[in-house]
Amino acid sequence: MELSRLAQALGLTLEAEDREIKRINTPELASKDDAVFLTSDKYLKDLPQTNAAVVFLRAEHKAIAPKSSVAIVCADPRLAFAKATAYFAQPLVKTDGKKAQIGRGCDISDLARIGKDTKIGSNCLIMAGVSIGDDVTIGDNVTLFPNVVIYNRTKIGDRVRIHAGTVIGSDGFGYATSKTGEHIKIRHLGRATIEDDVEIGANSAVDRAVLGETVVKRGAKLDNFVHIAHNCEIGEHSLITAHVVFAGSVKTGRNLVVGGHSGFNGHIEIAPFVTIAAKSGVTKSIKKSGTYAGFPAIEHGEWLRQQVRLAKILRKKRLTPTT
């Protein structure tokens, strides 16, 4: 897409030579054909070194943009980003492309749908009602139970089992709000990746990334009704029990164990070998291994001591005579 056309669509002024823009990317990963939108201050550290062709940013950040990039000032880069994603989103269904490549020994139901330019490995079992989108890659010995949905561009490794009703690669919950209160959808341009030896229970969801990828790493096991939001990274050999929710961009270390009905705030990091007790709320990053509980989640020993102190206070209050 020509930069001049993109700027015009966003109601912005281009005061530089026109050029072709192929994709939207983060400052760290952007190439000379990419556009970057500075939607958060967390990207400021990467901005001076970016190779992006153009950067959309607020006026106060223009001075730190590299001279090799065109800097376009906008009042609300997040809102501009949301509008721009509509111009780079791929079609929901391919109208051309090659028939899916299917490996030897596969058992695929006649009631399954498989999109174009998709590759399926050997010895896979794909049951009735499964829908696999375009440009999907599936490894060997994969089992997809009835009514699993795999969105476009998803990558699935070897020996993966995904149970009935689960959705992989759906859009995350992302919107930018205008001054008049309208919610503008952010098209999620990334993908979801499920690595080898992962098992995902029934009626779970793993969202695609806004940019880049959401990853469930090798050997992780997810129970029923688990939600992994956009751009999360779930560490190797993690055990996630039912009704656990990860907000966007959570990054966990290996062998995370999470009790049911727990939730994770977005944009936090969890150290390796952490256990989270059931019904906990993890609101900030956890930097050392151990067991945590409560809301907000704290070290399990401290949480137990707090519960004892609270019980004593409540007992004393019940025994205190009233006047």
CB 210 within 8 A of CB 196: no
Indicate the helix (H) or strand (E) that contains 144. strand 143-144
Q: What distance in Å separates the CA atoms of residue 223 and residue 292, rounded to the nearest whole number?
A: 20
State which amino acid sits at residue 5.
Answer: R
Q: Which residues have CB under 8 Å from 16's CB, separation 6+?
A: 70
Smallest CA-to-CA distance from 121 within 94, 141, 136 is with 141
**230 classed as catalytic:** yes
Q: What b-and-e string marks burial along 156-166, b requiring 16 or more CB atoms within 10 Å of the CB?
A: bbbbbbbbbbb
Q: What distance in Å separates the CA atoms of residue 195 and residue 47, rounded to the nearest whole number?
A: 31
Q: What b-and-e string marks burial along 187-226, b requiring 16 or more CB atoms within 10 Å of the CB?
A: bbbbbbbbbbbbbbbbbbbbbbbbbbbbbbbbbbbbbbbb
- The catalytically annotated residue of 163, 188, 227, 230 is 230
Q: Specify the length of the chain in residues.
A: 323
Active site residues: 230
